A and B are shown apart, each in its own frame.
Chain A
Amino acid sequence: MARRYFAIAAFAGLIVAIQLTTLVTGTAYYLTQLTMTAYYSLIVVGLCMLIGYAGQISLGHAGFFAIGGYVTAFLTTFDLKSHHGALVSLLMKSGGLVSRQDVYGGSLLTVHPWLACVAAILLTVVVAYLVGGPVLKLKGHYLAMATLGIGIIVYRIVLGTEFLGAADGISEVPGFPLPGGLLITGDASSRVFNYYLAWGLMILGMALLLNLIHSRIGRALAAVHGAEDAAEAMGIPTARYKLHTFVLSAVFAALAGVLLTHYNGGIGPSEAGVMKSVRYVAIVAIGGMANLWGALSMSLVLNYLSLRGYFGTYDDAVFGVILILIMLFAPDGLLRRHLLSDLKRVVSRDPEGEEAP
């Protein structure tokens, strides 16, 4: 247990070191992409839990990210001033609405971001349970295809729905208010605070997942992953645990969607795109599947490079290629103990040591 928390502390140290480096070198603007990276990493580690530990693939997690992002974006920008239903007045009385100014100086009456966040997470949980129940009965390619389908459905819905902004998405999403007058927003003035907040949340999420994999449930999930029938024979409700893990990882993705949308001030349909889902899976794969730290470190590097534009117009292609190469040459990921000897084997084309079926 001590080792787990030591690693978390070391990673927190790295986050502080990165910030100090940008301070010294006068490159504080990097923090914007690093903050976005933190939120994207939240999806990656949640997905890593699902793929690596519960052994279930999802090619639709950008869909859950989009559900989170779009629900909060819509609720916090949709003007309720001219609406006078019972629900609106109830929300009004209970303090669930806020009135604020839009960029043109007019006034808006919208749902409070906290309430919007709760709604977004609840909707995600409901969708994930409804979808996960039947879909997780599938295995292997079939599960991959079904989850891919879910991602595509969400993408087409947000792209084709007028009040969700269609191809433009939703913009002018307000910041997310926190106690003490602080705000999740992309404004340069609160860059450092948002950087630490995002990575703080990320590390908290990481700690929760690390605890989980070292718990009774984590053992059970590893058992389900390794030999499902034997796990079932030991009294482990395999279907239920897979579903719970699916929902858990969907909530991680949706929470990332909510917070990043407030940080960016908007969300567009590309966030729900299939290539986004592929990207998350590729990062989990290159991190070593059942390796939360591997997934996190790869997410930190690759998401950051991508957001800084290092991959240029080949952004999606890069992640597609990564996925193919990893599947071909290093299905256990890049970050592992015997990397060098494995590389030698690949180079010398000596099949010895390949795992027997």
Chain B
Amino acid sequence: MTLLSVRGISKRFGGLQAVNDLSFDIATGSIKALIGPNGAGKTTIFNLISGFLHPDSGEIVFGGAEIHALSSCEVAVLGMVRTFQHIRLFPKMTVLENIMVGRHVHSRAGFLAGMLNLPYTWGEERRIREKSYEIMEMLGIVDHAGAEAISLAYGQQRVVEIGRALACDPKLLLLDEPAAGLNMRETNEMGRLVSRIREMGVTVLLVEHDMSLVMKISDEVVVVSYGEKIAEDRPLAIQKNPEVIRVYLGDDAC
């Protein structure tokens, strides 16, 4: 079953055709990787899918609903959550609080309920807290619950950011370069984590530069160059695809 369907989207910034007539599908429960050389438009594609940008043409269908005109907030409410290439944790908030923010779409206390501290919010707050602890335990960061999130080591901040996204109970998780800046051991751990997230029933789309990680964990890989899709296949086949090799290594390699 297809969870996300990208159909012929294009995006132009002034004279630059950042994304050109791009299409691909993501099957429910799979891990799909989006790769390509620097400047290929991967992050733009991410921003288009997650509602941070809107395509000039084409459509994006998520869980049966057209989402290409929705804001990132509305997309998140539908169950698609993203992380950022440059970690965007909330400063001056603890790890626990950061993850609790992730429960926002699954709770409902508004301004009035909050100001009056209405009894129904107490149970809600408790459930938010319990769920957040569950996630921290799963990710092995529960010891840092009370620490300021941005004071953690870089690799752990990444994990917190993913934890915050998981707190939304997403159907689709978009990971923008989850292994960027991580050492080899942390990268391996990240790979295991992404696989575990998939086992939890979350579909994953990731942009990643680390090829060994991509080849190890993804079910399918989409390769983009200059905003166009040049290949879409299983990891092993992608590695042998002459067009992909040409794009990555230059013409002389063929």
Contact = CB atoms under 8 A, between A and B. Distances in A.
Partners in one complex: yes
Interface of A: 1, 208-209, 211-212, 214-220, 222-223, 226-227, 229-238, 244, 248, 290
Interface centre among A1, A218, A219, A222 (most CB of B within 10 A): A219
A216 B124 contact: yes
Contacts of B104: 216, 219-220, 234-236
B126 to A, nearest CB: 12
B168 interface: yes
A219 B73 contact: no
A229 B90 CA distance: 10
Contacts, number: 104
Contacts of A290: 92
B141 interface: no
A216 B113 CA distance: 9
Contact of A219 (B76, B89, B97, B116): B97
Contacts of A219: 93, 97, 100-101, 104
Q: Which 3 A-B pairs have the closest CB atoms?
A: A215-B114, A235-B76, A230-B88
Interface residues of B, number: 39
Contact of A233 (B72, B109, B114, B115): B72
A216 B71 contact: no
A235 B77 contact: yes
Contacts of A234: 76, 81, 101-102, 104-105, 164-165, 168
Given A211-B115, A215-B121, A219-B101, A231 B52 contact: no
Given A217-B114, A218-B114, A233-B72, A227 B89 contact: yes
Contacts of A216: 104, 107-109, 114, 121, 124-125, 128
Interface string B80-96: 01101000111111000
B4 to A, nearest CB: 16
A222 B93 contact: yes
A242 to B, nearest CB: 12
Given A216-B124, A233-B50, A234-B76, A211 B116 contact: yes
Given A217-B109, A217-B110, A234-B164, 8 more contacts: A215-B117, A216-B108, A216-B128, A219-B100, A220-B101, A227-B90, A229-B52, A236-B101
A232 B101 contact: no
B125 to A, nearest CB: 7
B83 to A, nearest CB: 8
B111 interface: yes
Nearest to A5: B117
Interface string B135-154: 00000000000000000000
A234 B173 CA distance: 12
